[in-house]
Structure 1
Amino acid sequence: MFRLFDLSLQLNGFPMKEAKAELRKIVSLSEKEHETFLENKKVEIVNFHLQNNPFYQELVGSNATNWHDLPVLNKRNLQKPLLERLSNGYSPKNSYVNKTSGSSGDPFIFAKDKYSHAITWASNIYRFDWYRIDFNSSYQARFYGIPMDFIGNKKERFKDFLSHRFRFSIFDLSDYVLEGFLKHFRTKKFDYINGYTSSIVLFAKYLKKKNIILKEICPTLKVCMVTSEMLFEDDKILLEQQFGIPIVNEYGASELDLIAFQNPQDEWQVNSETLFVEILDENNQAVPNGTSGRIVITSLFNKAHPFIRYDIGDIGILDEKSTLKKPVLKKLIGRTNDIALLPSGKKSPGLTFYYVTKSIIEDDGNVKEFIIKQTKINTFEIKYVSENELNSKQIQKIETAIALYLEPNLKFSFIRKKALKRSKRGKLKQFKSMI
């Protein structure tokens, strides 16, 4: 079979054969061998950047004698020109260069050397293969944003062609547009769905209203991978019901790799082949498995740019049964900058508001989607899209539940919208604090 996807990467200078071969070796290691591999890779990548990267040399200084002395990087450290952060011998011309989505509020340009980018793709290919998805032959229904300018749009469409995918632009998700989506599923032989959680959930709600199971009108569908936004348990159940296929939760970062990917045993398996993932407390100390903390990640292969002990801005918990070879993410709590500070002094993950509100607001299927914004310490704004306006009884129910789960005497304004504003890439930010 003609492998267009692999060939396009190879022609762009990404050594896929070598990367796939190395990944196969890493995957086959025993637990003990993996421990040795990990220690060696950590030492190797740190030494490489200390010897070849002036930006990292300056950051570390002369005090680091062991792993735990190394500084924890954050996105603000990296908001300086890319040329000042690249290792000796690397340039934008001989590296893969891209920009983070900025969903954390701190976008920056990053680079990966070509081998590091190849092994990132090898890691993606390996995980998707758990569900019999082959990037060269499997046809993807892609729920993503797309650049609106002519050249950007055409470039993205060409990438879609090479990657054997059909893109559903998610900037307009009105019923009329969703009906158009449905027509494509009736006529195209899609193998899998991939894209932003909120837009895929919205499509599933539309299917529920129409009493349609997607697998019945598109029998070739095998699996759906959702990414970039929180997947709540009740949304997962809705997707499984309306699509009639397994739903896979994906967690990744463009500057790194896939961080965690739900395996066929329903565990959120952390990538331990190309990354080293730590969960740290406020003092940068590792917390025991089962305890929440900041997700801090080291890219084991990227020589062009240091991502060593890099705080990605998320809070999570590793499962107690995790091992170095097979870490399992028990829970992703949300972003560190999505914390609501309340009048009592209490700090609460903003997604708690979202979750409590969600459990009430969507009971009857009237509200399609919503976002919450904290505008003052005691004031919140809830923007929502619905067929009918929320009545005083429903609003009272939401306010009572939030008082019970969080604290009383908070003020809310409810604003009905025709559509919610998404980021340039099509993401929907579920909670945002302006404080």
Structure 2
Amino acid sequence: MFVNCFTNENIENSVNRFKNILRLKGFPIEKAQKDLDSILNISDADFQDYNDNRRQAILDFHLKNNSDYSKFIQKTHYNTWDEIPIMTKAELQKPLKERLSKGYKSSTVFVNKTSGSSGHPFIFAKDKYAHALTWAHIIWLYQQHGIDMNSSLEARFYGIPKDVVGYKKERLKDLLANRHRFDIFDLSESNLHKFLDLFKEKPFDYINGYTSSVVLFAKFLKEQNVVLKSVCPTLKICITTSEMLFEEDRELLKNQLGVIVVNEYGASELDVIAFENAKGEWLLNNKTLHVEVVGDHGFPLPNGKEGNIVITSLYNKAHPFIRYQIGDRGIIDEKSTARTPILKSLTGRTNDFAVLPSGKKVPALSFYYVTKSVIEDSGLVKEVKIIQKELSEFTIEYKAENELNQIQKQKIINAVETYLEKGLVITFERKDELERSKSGKLKQFTSQLDS
């Protein structure tokens, strides 16, 4: 049984450094935390009204202040929420300045790129208050599992840019955020031994990272007959994110890491969408988001039925995400309430590994760092799919109005050599449409090699 040992005073003191970082960047974290506390204190009886009012408020704001969204939605009034059109990622692949609400510009908002793991990369924005509220929510979620974002040392299994400026920027962020980043672009056995040595040296409190990379490390630990907590006794928890966590992998992680495993489901353009609580329930975020599961025509399905996940960002005024189809399918649990919605299951974002001629293994998410070199604000490349045909041969299929020119192709080849290794054969194929799975998802990476 998990016991929350944090008092309000301890929580306030524990996040001071992290709050200072956000404050210096212009994010109003104090207001965001105060407002989040108010949301958390809403009674069960009143929570549905809160949700309804926030949805209507953000819809009214964008209808009034966002010309691009007004053109998309076409009408100024709908009888029910269910009639509002579904937004897809394809609608967002246009210059960011065309999508920003009145009163906002790229220099005054938080701007980032999606990972493109679904094959639909695009640039997005959050106003600074909405981004601060996202962080307030994450701080609160981690506190429920005893993680103090000011003092807890994080073992971070994430990617990192290879260009000098991007690399130094991420390393500085890691230093300020009290975390050590592991290089998941090289998951060779020799590098995994180095990972293990670091756990023996540093007092890590928790692991946070891409599911597939952490699972591969756990398989290595099993081969070495090592339980990680036995060599790193300070370790308390593992948080997996960005990819599906299958039950057999969860058991492997629990056995080889020796700590509890918490699964996170999120999207950079939104917030954490679902996060496991101490009971093992995958609680949906109904504080800053409204999550629906709908059928093919956009109407909500009964709890217990599988459908498309669509999400409304309740506070982002800079950029509309209203009934936004994220590209995953899932089921909301039948026992869910307005106050406590539970995600029963999720289908989507499973990633494989690419095996290279040198023997190095790299997670498929590495290809995000390759393809993002041509993710331009103009939305030139609409969809991307990488296929490994042979050990050293990769085909990059892409959907775009025009062929990539030689400069753009060379830019990708250079990125491949930077993030993967030299000597690989890269071919490009422009297609009108890219092949999808039976469920309609576009898998960004596929290996045709025998297992």
Which TM-score tier does this pair reach, normalised by the shorter chain?
Answer: 0.7 to 0.9
The answer as to 2:340 corresponding to 1:326 is yes
Aligned amino acid, residue 205 of structure 1: K
Cα shift readout 1:204-242 (whole Å, capped 9, x = no counterpart): 011101111111111111100001111110000000000
Q: Could you say which residue in structure 2 is the equivalent of 1:69?
A: 83
The answer as to 2:323 corresponding to 1:309 is yes
The answer as to 2:286 corresponding to 1:286 is no
Q: Could you say which residue in structure 2 is the equivalent of 1:234?
A: 248
Q: Could you say which residue in structure 2 is the equivalent of 1:212?
A: 226
Rounded to whole Å, the distance in 2 between the matches of 1:161 and 1:211 is 32
Q: Could you say which residue in structure 1 is the equivalent of 2:186?
A: 172
Change (3 A) 1:29 1:168: same
Rounded to whole Å, the distance in 1 between the matches of 2:74 and 2:347 is 33
Aligned amino acid, residue 203 of structure 1: F
Matched position secondary structure for 2:151: coil
Change (3 A) 1:48 1:194: same
Shift of 1:183: 0.7
Q: Could you say which residue in structure 1 is the equivalent of 2:30?
A: 17
Rounded to whole Å, the distance in 2 between the matches of 1:96 and 1:370 is 27
The answer as to 2:18 corresponding to 1:5 is yes
Aligned amino acid, residue 17 of structure 1: E
Cα shift readout 1:403-433 (whole Å, capped 9, x = no counterpart): xxxxxxxxxxxxxxxxxx99979xxx68649
Q: Could you say which residue in structure 2 is the equivalent of 1:35?
A: 48
CA contact (8 A) 2:160 2:183 kept: yes
The answer as to 2:289 corresponding to 1:275 is yes
Change (3 A) 1:310 1:249: same
Q: Could you say which residue in structure 1 is the equivalent of 2:174?
A: 160
Rounded to whole Å, the distance in 2 between the matches of 1:370 and 1:150 is 22
Segments of 5+ residues of structure 1 without an aligned counterpart are: 336-350, 356-367, 372-380, 386-420
The structure 1 residue matched to 2:57, chosen from 35, 44, 49, is: 44
- Using structure 1 for the length normalisation, give the TM-score: 0.78
Change (3 A) 1:258 1:424: farther
The structure 1 residue matched to 2:160, chosen from 146, 157, 161, is: 146
Cα shift readout 1:296-329 (whole Å, capped 9, x = no counterpart): 0000000000000000000000110011221101
Rounded to whole Å, the distance in 2 between the matches of 1:422 and 1:18 is 45
The answer as to 2:236 corresponding to 1:250 is no
The structure 2 residue matched to 1:105, chosen from 109, 116, 119, is: 119
Higher relative contact order (CA 8 A, sep 6+): 2
Cα shift readout 1:89-122 (whole Å, capped 9, x = no counterpart): 0011111110000111111110000000000001
Q: Could you say which residue in structure 2 is the equivalent of 1:406?
A: none
Give % identity: 53
Change (3 A) 1:266 1:116: same
Change (3 A) 1:18 1:162: same
Shift of 1:29: 1.3
Cα shift readout 1:168-206 (whole Å, capped 9, x = no counterpart): 010111111000001110010100000001110010011
Matched position secondary structure for 2:234: coil
The answer as to 2:135 corresponding to 1:121 is yes
Rounded to whole Å, the distance in 2 between the matches of 1:226 and 1:384 is 30
Rounded to whole Å, the distance in 2 between the matches of 1:383 and 1:320 is 43
Change (3 A) 1:161 1:370: closer
Aligned amino acid, residue 42 of structure 2: L
Matched position secondary structure for 1:311: strand
Rounded to whole Å, the distance in 2 between the matches of 1:217 and 1:433 is 35
Change (3 A) 1:383 1:232: farther
Change (3 A) 1:422 1:4: farther
Shift of 1:245: 0.3
Matched position secondary structure for 1:269: strand
Change (3 A) 1:277 1:228: same
Change (3 A) 1:9 1:422: farther
Rounded to whole Å, the distance in 1 between the matches of 2:134 and 2:215 is 27
CA contact (8 A) 1:202 1:369 kept: no
Shift of 1:69: 2.1
Matched position secondary structure for 1:284: coil
Cα shift readout 1:7-30 (whole Å, capped 9, x = no counterpart): 010111111111111111111212
Segments of 5+ residues of structure 2 without an aligned counterpart are: 1-12, 353-360, 365-386, 392-415, 421-442
CA root-mean-square deviation: 2.5
Rounded to whole Å, the distance in 1 between the matches of 2:213 and 2:275 is 19
Query: Size of the alignment, in residue pairs?
Result: 358
Within a 5 Å distance, the mapping from 1:286-435 to structure 2 comes to 286-334=300-348, 432=446
Rounded to whole Å, the distance in 2 between the matches of 1:110 and 1:4 is 27
Change (3 A) 1:422 1:72: farther
Aligned amino acid, residue 62 of structure 1: K
Q: Could you say which residue in structure 2 is the equivalent of 1:398?
A: none
Rounded to whole Å, the distance in 1 between the matches of 2:85 and 2:115 is 24
- Runs (4 or more) in structure 1 with deviation over 6 Å come to 368-371, 381-385, 421-425
CA contact (8 A) 1:64 1:70 kept: no
Rounded to whole Å, the distance in 1 between the matches of 2:248 and 2:82 is 39
CA contact (8 A) 2:307 2:329 kept: yes
- Bigger mean CA deviation after superposition, 290-299 or 32-41: 32-41
The answer as to 2:62 corresponding to 1:56 is no
The answer as to 2:155 corresponding to 1:134 is no
